[in-house]
Amino acid sequence: MSVIVESQITVIAKADLRRGYYRLTLAPFSKIRSIKPGQFIHLQVPQCEVFFRRAFSIYDVDREKRSLDLIFKVFGRGTTALAKIRKGEQYSILGPLGNSFAMPSKKEKVMLVAGGIGMPPMYFLTKQLIAKKHDPKRILFFYGGYDKADLVDIARIRKLGAKVIPVTENGSSGFKGLVTEAVLKELDGGMERVRMYACGPEPMLRAVDALAVERGIPGQVSLEAPMPCGIGICLGCVKELRAGGHTRVCREGPVYEMGEVVI
């Protein structure tokens, strides 16, 4: 785990991505060069009745500008308050928190499975893979949502050069069905040495995890869980391990091997 710092950070850009999705760009962050794909930050919620910070996966970083990008969707009181953030305002963040993804071999085909707001760490990982000279043609980015409005910033993902496979339950964009069905179709088209990564809603992660275990596909999942403290003290994010015992998602995770955690 990286050295954790608390910093005052300024909102230098805010984009309304529609349907309750927002992208924030925050700077400067002193530990920007130590951030790795899969890690997250804890962001102070603007003055309201919400006491705890909110955890957000890191979407992108600009190490020269010392800025980082986040994407969130309005769900409850905390994210409703965050949606009112304005450019130029300052907030406290804590991070970088959690562990990070293990890099695959360049001989492996990489399949990234993103569902809804689980897209940001998959994007950051894809960008890192390409920066490390992984062949973009051997990176498949499955991006699932209910309809095309849920596939936010998809043009930005395509610019990386990986093969993006949009999946929508209502068929409004790309493959019609569940993202795991699109993954199965690809796997059934011809197996080769594959490594899989996933982040998204728990039912999706459960299905991807089961599929990977059943077919013997190595890889990792990034879990989403309530993280009131973000540093392993409050035990609000505990999950059961298949081998026995428990794990704190915010401290030992959020990235785990396929089949390691009971999802």
| Domain boundaries, given as residue ranges, for the chain | 5-97, 109-257
Would you say the CATH fold of 109-257 matches that of 5-97?
A: no
Is-contact 29 62, C-beta < 8 A?
A: no
Q: What is the pLDDT of residue 125?
A: 98
Superfamily classification of domain 5-97: Translation factors (2.40.30.10)
pLDDT tens digits for 87-123?
999 999 999 999 999 999 999 999 999 999 999 999 9
Q: What is the pLDDT of residue 49?
A: 67
Which class for 12: exposed (0-12), middle (13-18), buried (19 or more C-beta within 10 A)? middle
Kindly write down the DSSP assignment for every residue of 99-154, as one continuous string.
--PPPPPTTSEEEEEEEGGGHHHHHHHHHHHHHTT--GGGEEEEEEESSGGGSTTH
pLDDT tens digits for 230-244?
889 999 999 999 999
Q: Across all residues in the chain, what is the average pLDDT?
A: 93
Q: Is the pTM of this model over 0.85?
A: yes
R_g of the chain computed on alpha carbons:
18
Which residue in the block uniquely carries the two structure tokens 């890099």? 103
- Where the chain has pLDDT below 70, the residues are 1-2, 47-50, 191
Phi, psi of 215 (to 5 degrees): -100, 5
Is residue 53 classed as helix, strand or coil in its secondary structure?
A: coil
Residue 78 DSSP class: H
Residue 230 DSSP class: S
Is-contact 14 24, C-beta < 8 A?
A: yes
Residue 124 DSSP class: H
Q: What is the pLDDT of residue 50?
A: 67
Question: Which CATH number is correct for 109-257, 3.40.50.1820, 3.40.50.300, 3.40.50.80, 3.40.190.10?
Answer: 3.40.50.80
Is-contact 123 158, C-beta < 8 A?
A: no
Spatial strand order in the sheet of 40-43: 54-57, 40-43, 90-97, 5-18, 21-27, 67-73, 60-62
Q: What is the pLDDT of residue 191?
A: 66
Is-contact 96 41, C-beta < 8 A?
A: yes
Q: What is the pLDDT of residue 190?
A: 72
